[in-house]
Structure 1
Amino acid sequence: MFIHRYVTEGTFDSYSWQLIETKQRFISQVMSGKAPSRSCEDLDEAVLSYGEIKALSTGNPHILEKVQLETDVTKLRLLKSSHVSQRYRLEDMLLLQYPQQLLERRQKIGAIEKDIPRRDANTPEDRELFSMTVMGREYTDKASAGAELLALCQAVVQRGEAMEIGSYRGFAMRLEYRAMEQAFVVGLRGAAVYFAELGTDVQGNLARINNALNGMEAHLKKLTQEISEIEKQQENTRQELEKPFAQEQELAEKEARLSAVNALLNIDGKNSIPDLMDDTLDIEPPQRAAKDYER
């Protein structure tokens, strides 16, 4: 089964297909949800009026100009609507998103700057010295402390919730099981919280915990770089907001021309009387026949 569509050049077909194209664009916008417009209008006003049919039948060239202008104006209005929607999004980013991101990072920087002295004050100069408190008991042997951490992992699963397990290098330790990641994680809480994911190796777990605390300076550097990048984005957004709609003048000119063409075609039909005759006939009103009445 085949569907054949025919279009005849130089006929009314071009206008009919233009209406179908506009209607399909309208449907696609609604179905995709990507159109920036808040509302879409149906095509009732685009249906040919008597004036347009008259213009077609008389070969008026303005009807083709009207079709092209309607297409151009529709596209330009959609572009402007997208521009306005983009401005709203940029304004939200400038007024809400960027300030919130900067605040969060500056707060983290402040917390890390407090935690670095805490960590250093509780770190022995001799790296071989070790002390970790687990469930109220102080461990000076790394292997024993690591084994106790692994044993507590099973306790966390059985309890079904995170638990405070002790302290290390001046930071409180909290053990939790993240079901989505299927991982056991130790959180070391000071002014900020630093996380270390545990494995099955005793010595490896202690190394991960130490790396989380020793990585404060690197984290501080990363946050500083992020702040610099966000500030650049802020400036770029301000510059973008200062840009007007590039086709504003073109849209205004084509809307004005479309209004003029519609007036020429008498599209609105106001104060118009169809020209049923090219020439008017001068017809004398009928004279009343004079009659003499005999009294």
Structure 2
Amino acid sequence: MDEILAGNASFSVYEEIRSKLIEKGVPADQVRFIHEAKTDLQKSKLFDEMNRGEARVLLGSTTKMGAGTNVQRRLVALHHVDAPWRPADLEQRDGRIERQGNLFYEQDPDGFEIEILRYATKQTYDSRMWQTIEYKAAGIEQFRKGDGLQRVIEDVASEAANAAEMKAAATGNPLIFLQVQLAADLKKVEALFSNFKRNQHALDSRITWLEEADKRADRSVARWNGEIAKRDAGTGSSFMFRTAAKSYSEDNKDQLLGAILGCMKVAVERKAEDTFQRAAIIRVGTYRGFEIDVSCSRHKIQFTITGNDSYEPDNLVYRTDDKFSLPGFISRIDNFLDRFEAWRADAEHSRIGERDELAKAKIEKGKPFQQQSRLENLREDSRDVMTELKLMQADDNYVSTWTPKSTVLQGNAAPEAKKMRA
């Protein structure tokens, strides 16, 4: 197609662009056509000349200058003379310049910019071409989001947004361009408003929870006070561990070790008899006012401590291949029982933290949506601009004097260039 357009047609856009560039002072040998390179060796030579700066302008079609065209070393601008049919083609074109390996970026990473320029002629088929790109890109972006229940695109973004603006600009009617911008802005603010309402609903639930902070803290403090009182009442001046059969003191700890190991053995045997039954709980004895039980589950032995409530401390789990020592076992129980005061302090600390959070949540709940006025104006403007377009369609002589309430335009209605960071 490049050869046909450039050689066999009465008008060649390639030659026209080159002639205009030459008139502007660009040397003829610095303007090159991609179809001049017919072999891989010729392409490689052409690409090297571009990267060295010997050639400054390279013209070609999407197909000819697609993947494998690595001429980005000194590129500063990309020009879309026409609109392709597929969003992927538009992305492929931009990929010639939006890539690593640019010399000027390496020299000034923070200040370097490239230009991507798209062209359209008013009141021509360009409008239809950009509209096609818009529809296709929007559908692809919705599919990529992966939400099968979504019926409305939340926002026009990426190539879909570019195509929408180019389509509107190509119609020659500023109201159409305005309608596109209004629709895009409205979708953005609607999305923010939906997120605001979700946050307000979440705040309602959170406030309801936080208002129970004192009740939760009171229950927790009462629980640990009860356990502390039970522990202190059962703690004597000397070591004492009681089983159903006997009380063990410091003098007969060896016998206590045998008794505990015996209980552990029974728990293992009970589990082995029927692996599908719940683990049998074997009473070991009483220590510092708390009942100590043991059970076997698969390949671990768990000791349970019961005061006003029952606990299964992580530090009282033994694997079948772990070594068991009585001093270590007693030390683990003591460490657990001595943590009650810390847990009571945690409850009080949580009370204070949740009170502070409740105050902040109520303040946040009372705040209105900051863009409420803009949202209402955008909604009204979106309705009014469609009314104006219908009036223009019905009467060719109708001249609209309508102006939007929301501020959506900055500068010209149809920008000719788009600057992007590399």
The alignment's TM-score, normalised by the length of structure 2, stands at 0.51
- Given candidates 358, 361, 378, the residue that maps to 1:234 is 358
CA RMSD in angstroms comes to 3.4
Alignment of 1:37-52 (within 5 A): 40-42=150-152
State the Cα deviation string for residues 10-30 of structure 1 (Å, max 9, x = none): 34255444444544454455x
The answer to whether the aligner puts 1:252 opposite 2:376 as a matched pair is yes
Say whether the 8 Å CA contact 1:112–1:192 is kept in structure 2.
Answer: no
Deviation of 1:155 after TM superposition, in Å, equals 3.0
- Given candidates 266, 271, 292, the residue that maps to 2:390 is 266
Higher relative contact order (CA 8 A, sep 6+): 1
Deviation of 1:223 after TM superposition, in Å, equals 1.8
Deviation of 1:243 after TM superposition, in Å, equals 1.7
> 2:187, 2:194 → 1: CA distance?
11
Aligned to 1:163: 281
> 2:186, 2:140 → 1: CA distance?
17
Q: Which amino acid aligns with 2:243?
A: V
Deviation of 1:164 after TM superposition, in Å, equals 4.3
State the Cα deviation string for residues 223-243 of structure 1 (Å, max 9, x = none): 211222222222222222112
Aligned to 1:190: 307
Aligned to 1:130: 239
The answer to whether the aligner puts 1:204 opposite 2:316 as a matched pair is no
Alignment of 1:1-295 (within 5 A): 4-5=89-90, 8-10=118-120, 11-12=126-127, 13-29=129-145, 31=146, 40-42=150-152, 59-96=172-209, 98=210, 103-125=215-237, 129-140=238-249, 141-160=252-271, 161-165=279-283, 166-177=285-296, 183-196=300-313, 197-198=315-316, 199=318, 200-266=324-390, 273=394
> 2:363, 2:171 → 1: CA distance?
52
> 2:300, 2:259 → 1: CA distance?
17
Q: Percent identity?
A: 20
Question: Unaligned regions of 5+ residues in structure 1, if any?
Answer: 34-38, 47-54, 279-295
Q: Which amino acid aligns with 1:215?
A: R
Deviation of 1:121 after TM superposition, in Å, equals 1.7
Deviation of 1:32 after TM superposition, in Å, equals 5.6
* Structure 1 residues 26 and 77: CA distance shift in structure 2, 3 A: farther
What SS does the aligned partner of 1:172 have? strand
* Structure 1 residues 87 and 219: CA distance shift in structure 2, 3 A: same
> 1:120, 1:58 → 2: CA distance?
87
What SS does the aligned partner of 2:202 have? helix
Tell me the number of residue pairs that the alignment of Structure 1 and Structure 2 aligns: 252
State the Cα deviation string for residues 207-258 of structure 1 (Å, max 9, x = none): 1111212222122112211222222222222222112222222111112111
Say whether the 8 Å CA contact 1:175–1:184 is kept in structure 2.
Answer: yes
Q: Which amino acid aligns with 2:292?
A: M
> 1:73, 1:139 → 2: CA distance?
79
> 2:203, 2:152 → 1: CA distance?
30
> 2:303, 2:380 → 1: CA distance?
68
Q: Which amino acid aligns with 1:149?
A: I
Deviation of 1:184 after TM superposition, in Å, equals 3.4
Say whether the 8 Å CA contact 2:169–2:177 is kept in structure 1.
Answer: no
> 2:234, 2:280 → 1: CA distance?
25
* Structure 1 residues 78 and 28: CA distance shift in structure 2, 3 A: farther
* Structure 1 residues 25 and 242: CA distance shift in structure 2, 3 A: farther
Deviation of 1:77 after TM superposition, in Å, equals 0.9
> 1:251, 1:60 → 2: CA distance?
25
State the Cα deviation string for residues 167-202 of structure 1 (Å, max 9, x = none): 2221122324466xx653323222233444335222
> 1:183, 1:86 → 2: CA distance?
45
* Structure 1 residues 249 and 142: CA distance shift in structure 2, 3 A: farther
The alignment's TM-score, normalised by the length of structure 1, stands at 0.71
Deviation of 1:145 after TM superposition, in Å, equals 2.5
* Structure 1 residues 249 and 176: CA distance shift in structure 2, 3 A: farther
> 1:32, 1:148 → 2: CA distance?
62
Q: Which amino acid aligns with 1:108?
A: S
Q: Which amino acid aligns with 2:281?
A: M
What SS does the aligned partner of 2:235 have? coil
> 2:349, 2:297 → 1: CA distance?
30
> 1:157, 1:105 → 2: CA distance?
39
Deviation of 1:143 after TM superposition, in Å, equals 3.8
Mean Cα displacement is larger for which, 157-166 or 229-238?
Answer: 157-166
Deviation of 1:163 after TM superposition, in Å, equals 1.0
Say whether the 8 Å CA contact 1:115–1:191 is kept in structure 2.
Answer: yes
* Structure 1 residues 210 and 169: CA distance shift in structure 2, 3 A: same
> 2:351, 2:300 → 1: CA distance?
31
Q: Which amino acid aligns with 2:256?
A: A
What SS does the aligned partner of 1:246 have? coil
Say whether the 8 Å CA contact 1:18–1:67 is kept in structure 2.
Answer: no
> 2:270, 2:295 → 1: CA distance?
10
Say whether the 8 Å CA contact 1:139–1:145 is kept in structure 2.
Answer: yes
What SS does the aligned partner of 2:231 have? helix
